[in-house]
Structure 1
Amino acid sequence: MDETAAASASASAVEAGDGNGDGDGSETRGGDDADPDSDPVVSGEGVRKSYGEVVALDGVDVRVESGEVFGLIGPNGAGKTTLVRALTGTTEADGDLRVFGAPPRAVDSQRIGLLPQSFDPPERLTATELVAYYGGLYDAARDTDSVLRDVGMADDANAWYETLSGGQKRRTCVATAIVNDPDLLFLDEPTTGIDPAGRRALHRLIERLAGDGTTVFLTSHAMDEVERLADRVALLRDGAVVAVGPPAELIAEHGGEPRLEVVVDGPAGDEPVERVGGAMSRDFAVEPTADGLRILGVRPESIGDAVDALDAGGIAFESLAWSEPSLEDVYLRLTGEAYSPRTGTGGIADRAGEDAQDGGDR
């Protein structure tokens, strides 16, 4: 059974509410506005998980408030998928894990939606049949047609899953995760393979769900997606959280300075850097790149000074591109551009046992 079906059909040992939400209907988002004394929707303390000698999670602490969009980022092999599986009760892990105040496997599955990273539903069902099938696993499901409209699949609702494009398949999978109108929604790489227009539509859907009180746990490699959607972000590396906070705060602390990327007209090398550095009238840092050079610390109002320094240094350039630091810069700085995950030669997918399904991204 795939993870979504397993999460949906699991027996509930403890009823955690009536399935209609755990709040008072307020549309206030979580994050900075959350009550620090309130019980979190998701919490984990000292979460650990190993596969043989491979440590996937090494004492992770996590807390997600009601109505919050919580982003989890990190390199392949960092432990993201293993953490999602532990929090949804689809794999065992050590530590204190709570969802709606109960152990993950004791939570009423009606309240949770899950889109795993890998999801292979029956291909000879139409999108409508597939969503209706998963809706049938719940006591009260949303109208299938309205869910398909939400994810942009209304026009292809009667197409067989096997005939859909990669992006259409992923949107259909998102529909199966929200058909029960969950109070808590886990999305593991929800926009993989989806075109830009489809990504924007799903972003708006996630924002609307969060605005209506759904708590969203989002895992993604798309830093722009996480920066836009998440109230708070945790960065996972080697199974441990190395930074956590609102995206703007992480960017301010770890993102570096604004920069001006210069593509030079001719071979790049150290000489342009030396000539421009010598012509600088401001305290800018200059470093070489594959196509030219990068001038750090350039604010919008000082771009003209940087251009004057290029002219004074006799540097002909093809293009200039100014940018502010982003969550991607935080990611690269805290993980390293050449970071190689410690999965070993075979990786955990080669290990025996049912938990070997956590292979790949982990």
Structure 2
Amino acid sequence: MNETAAASAAEEATRGRDAATDPVLVGEGVQRSYGDVVALDGVDLRVEAGEVFGLIGPNGAGKTTLVRALTGTTDAEGDLRVFGAPPPEVDPQRIGLLPQSFDPPERLTATELVEYYGGLYDDARDVESVLRDVGMADDADAWYETLSGGQQRRTCVATAVVNDPDLLFLDEPTTGIDPAGRRSIHRLIERLADGGTTVFLTSHAMDEVERLADRVALLRDGAVVAVGPPGDLIAEHGGAPRLDVTLDGGASEEVAERIEAGLAGGVAVESTRDGLRVSGVRPEAIGDAVDALDVAFESLAWSEPSLEDVYLRLTGEEYSPREGTLEEALRDGGDR
């Protein structure tokens, strides 16, 4: 090989390595408004190849608008790139999308429905294997309209993965699905990610996101307020482990203060509707904490913080969307 050819080969190899490490999704300063309502307020986002990326946030926070911007179905200001290109320029053969609201033709069987969507792509997967992946093999010949809500949702998931996408958007994929069906969908998502598919998952099921996502972004009022691996977010924002004590008749603040004074430092006690909550109790200290309570109790429940605690802490248990909500903007002719 001469020097020119060798240099060309080396340059091509370098480009290949760079492409393999480039992020699949990039958003910088993404903004979108509907009239006076700001749906996205300077969102910065980066999703790596093969990553399961979770997006969580309250209703009206801008999640669906962000997904639509990333898939090129709504305009947005700022820098948006998918596979290095603006979303409208991306080959749709590489994308799979399951929207939160999806109403396919009802007078088709599950098999016919997946075959229809598979026919939109040049190289679709075998329909029978896709239905088996989502747990619909036994009901493949049933009309869509006769399926239960969970079975319909599983069939919809099948339509989103029939093209074996490089990038898969799933918006509330397991809504209405029973525990066994949810497990099938979770295993499918894990297999797809292991095979190199990048998954962008939006869900209100915090346990689902915590289990599946490599990283999570929490969106509130159109802005990302936290992003990172679930474990890191829980450690930073989830609070301390807690011991919930159910008492007959509850407990007053005075009782809680008296008990807290008798416990080791770093432990906080507060009264709840059903009794007491003791925060900061490690598993090995549960016995000592119970001894120090010095009250008759009906039950004890110890738990570690979870992604749900992060969500509630960063959004507020009684979250109220901005004045001039997205719902109002939609009624005036916008999209979500």
Task: State TM-score, norm by structure 1.
Answer: 0.85
1:348 to 306, 313, 329: 329
**Matched residue of 1:334: which SS?**
helix
The separation in 1 between residues aligned to 2:248 and 2:228, in whole angstroms, is 41
Aligned length: 321
- The CA RMSD over aligned residues, in Å, is 1.8
1:187 to 155, 166, 170: 170
Deviations 1:1-49 (A, max 9, x none): xxxxxxxxxxxxxxxxxxxxxx99xxxxxxxxxx999311111111100
> What's the counterpart of residue 62 of structure 1?
45
Is 2:288 the partner of 1:300? no
**Matched residue of 1:357: which SS?**
coil
Deviations 1:134-191 (A, max 9, x none): 0000011001111000000011111111111111111000000000000000001101
> What's the counterpart of residue 331 of structure 1?
311
Q: Which has the larger radius of gyration?
A: 2
Q: 1:80 to 1:159 in 2, by over 3 A?
A: same
Whether the 8 Å CA contact 1:77–1:343 is kept in 2: the answer is no
1:277-316 maps to which residues of 2 (within 5 A)? 277-311=260-294, 315-316=295-296
The separation in 2 between residues aligned to 1:141 and 1:303, in whole angstroms, is 55
Whether the 8 Å CA contact 2:241–2:305 is kept in 1: the answer is yes
Is 2:213 the partner of 1:204? no
> What's the counterpart of residue 241 of structure 1?
224
Whether the 8 Å CA contact 1:44–1:95 is kept in 2: the answer is yes
> What's the counterpart of residue 136 of structure 1?
119
Shift of 1:288: 1.2
1:172 to 148, 155, 165: 155
The separation in 1 between residues aligned to 2:201 and 2:122, in whole angstroms, is 25
1:21-36 maps to which residues of 2 (within 5 A)? none
Q: 1:238 to 1:115 in 2, by over 3 A?
A: same
Name the amino acid aligned to 2:149.
G
> What's the counterpart of residue 33 of structure 2?
50
User: Which consecutive unaligned segments of at least 5 residues does structure 2 have?
Assistant: 1-15
Q: 1:188 to 1:343 in 2, by over 3 A?
A: farther
Whether the 8 Å CA contact 1:272–1:293 is kept in 2: the answer is no
Q: Which moved more, 1:320-329 or 1:277-286?
A: 277-286
Deviations 1:224-250 (A, max 9, x none): 111111111111000000011111111
Name the amino acid aligned to 2:89.
A
> What's the counterpart of residue 112 of structure 1?
95
Name the amino acid aligned to 2:36.
E
2:22 to 20, 24, 39: 39
Shift of 1:281: 4.2
> What's the counterpart of residue 61 of structure 2?
78
The separation in 1 between residues aligned to 2:135 and 2:248, in whole angstroms, is 45
Name the amino acid aligned to 1:320.
L
Shift of 1:218: 0.4
